[in-house]
Amino acid sequence: MKRATAKLIGPFAEMLSMLNVPAKGAVKDDLLEIKHDCGIVVLEGIIRAIGDFTALCKNFNLSEIEEISSPQVCLPGFIDVHTHMCWAGSRARDYSLRTAGVPYLEIAKSGGGIMDTVRKTRQASETELLKNLLQRCTRQLKDGVTTCEVKSGYGLTVQDELKMLRTIDAASKRHAIDLVPTCLAAHMPPPEFKNTPEVYLQLILDEILPVVQKENLARRIDIFIEESAFSLQQAEPFLQVAQERGFSLAVHVDQFSPGGSLLACKLNASSADHLEAGGEREIKALANSNTVAVILPGCSLGLGINFAPARKLLDGGAGLAISTDWNPGSAPMGDLLMQAAVLGAAEKLSSAETFAGITCRAAAALGMHDRGVLAAGMLADFQAFPCHDFREILYHQGKLKADKVWKRGVRIAP
């Protein structure tokens, strides 16, 4: 049998490996490992070695050298840990009304709001949903996002939730990006169960989750804990049963009212997401847990509300990831780098903290330990920015994009 030979990619003017970044707490830029004039050796989609480019040329049996001819800064592929990218329709009307000052409840009563997306997603075929999702996946990959979580939650019936999860599964098999599916059937009580949310949660446990497990459509469960969705008392037994069945937990909490993150920490959820309304009690609980705090600046921008207290969370000792919440209603932008840069400026985050939030700490929020840093043995997911200095990337507030992206060592964008 012929021995596989490796490919060398480089040289990169600078490389941020994201090694040495702790899982939790504040991080200063001087902790970043910065390599110069280095290359990456890739074998079968995995990083085999990283080091001086010239030395790697001499020391490895290489099948190919993919030479980088202009100065580039290399970073791990970004990881977007909280999105709702599978949907049909548009909520541009809602957005226009909301920015003009019309309250959400009034928009909802006039036919808008999340139920507008639910109606359109229920009406859409799997073919239509798949086409839309694949287009969004392509945009993510061009923006350097090599791993992306995607939730269901706009079907809210057995048939339509499974339709969404099967669409996400189909997209994952057809697209180069890695998609991580999450069952968010407990997004909101549907109109059919408006007055009996507990009955709907039991329906999810009885009729949706068994099929999800049988078809391997998702290994993660989410629920929206809020006055307008599900209460803490309704959510806890639902999450406990899902956890007992082997699902990992990610929870929408503390968006408009606090307290939900305490339950997330109690149940050792992988992440507690939103946190705009979180206070000192919630920050302390997250800092004392292994639950990653996921901040969604796109939602704050879309709704015109305060950012979650990222600086306080980090100073308190929490692990912090940053994500887009890409959805048709509150967060239609879907640009991870731009949102992370804006959040970093507003919350006074170091470059190390911002980049960690969309690489290594984001990987931790998904429980994925094979990505998010550049090191031997990790997935060869990385990207290159057209600049000499890594600080240029956030300085341009998301407008400086990667012009080269590799997925498992194969250059796939642009």
Per-residue pLDDT band for 104 (boundaries 50, 70, 90) equals: confident
Q: What is the pLDDT of residue 414?
A: 62
The CATH number of residue 67's host domain is: 2.30.40.10
Residue 106 lies in a domain: yes
> pLDDT digits over 146-188, tens only?
999 999 999 999 999 999 999 999 999 999 999 999 999 999 9
The β-bridge partners of 293 are 272, 320
Q: Which of 259, 262, 267 is nearest to 237 (CA)?
A: 267
Identify whether residues 50 and 102 lie together within a single domain: no
> pLDDT digits over 228-271, tens only?
899 999 999 999 999 999 999 999 999 999 999 999 999 999 99
Angle between helix axes 158-174 and 126-142 (nearest 10 degrees) is 40
Identify whether residues 259 and 401 lie together within a single domain: no
Residue 185 lies in a domain: yes
Residue 337 lies in a domain: yes
- For residue 108, is pLDDT > 70? yes
Q: Coil, strand or helix: which one is 362?
A: helix
Locate 235 and state its tokens. 């959510």
Identify whether residues 283 and 150 lie together within a single domain: yes
Identify whether residues 269 and 404 lie together within a single domain: no
Residue 223 lies in a domain: yes
The alpha helices in 80-204, defined as continuous H runs, are 92-99, 104-109, 114-123, 126-142, 158-174, 197-203
B/e letters for 288-325, b = 16+ CB within 10 Å, e = fewer, are: ebebbbbbbbbbbbbbeeebbbbbbbbebebbbbbbbb
> pLDDT digits over 215-227, tens only?
999 999 999 999 8
Identify whether residues 204 and 68 lie together within a single domain: no
Boundary of a domain, candidates 365, 382, 403 = 365
Locate 368 and state its tokens. 């994925």
- The Cα 221–Cα 374 span in angstroms is 29
Average pLDDT over residues 380-397: 98
Residue 1 lies in a domain: no
Question: Whole-model pTM?
Answer: 0.97
Locate 109 and state its tokens. 């009563």
Locate 393 and state its tokens. 């990337």
Yes or no: say if 331 and 302 are a contact pair by the CB < 8 Å rule: yes
Q: What is the pLDDT of residue 5?
A: 79
Locate 298 and state its tokens. 């796109």
Q: Which position has the token pair 């629920």?
A: 223
Identify whether residues 189 and 313 lie together within a single domain: yes
Residue 15 lies in a domain: yes
Per-residue pLDDT band for 413 (boundaries 50, 70, 90) equals: low
Q: What is the mean pLDDT of the chain?
A: 96
367 phi-psi bin (left φ>0, alpha ψ -120 to 50, beta other): left
What angle is formed at CA 293 by the lines to CA 188 and CA 335, rounded to 5 degrees?
75
Q: Indicate the number of domains in the chain.
A: 2
Which of the 8 DSSP states describes residue 1? -
Range of the domain at 381: 6-77+373-413
Q: What is the pLDDT of residue 2?
A: 43
Yes or no: say if 382 and 406 are a contact pair by the CB < 8 Å rule: yes
Identify whether residues 357 and 387 lie together within a single domain: no
Identify whether residues 146 and 39 lie together within a single domain: no
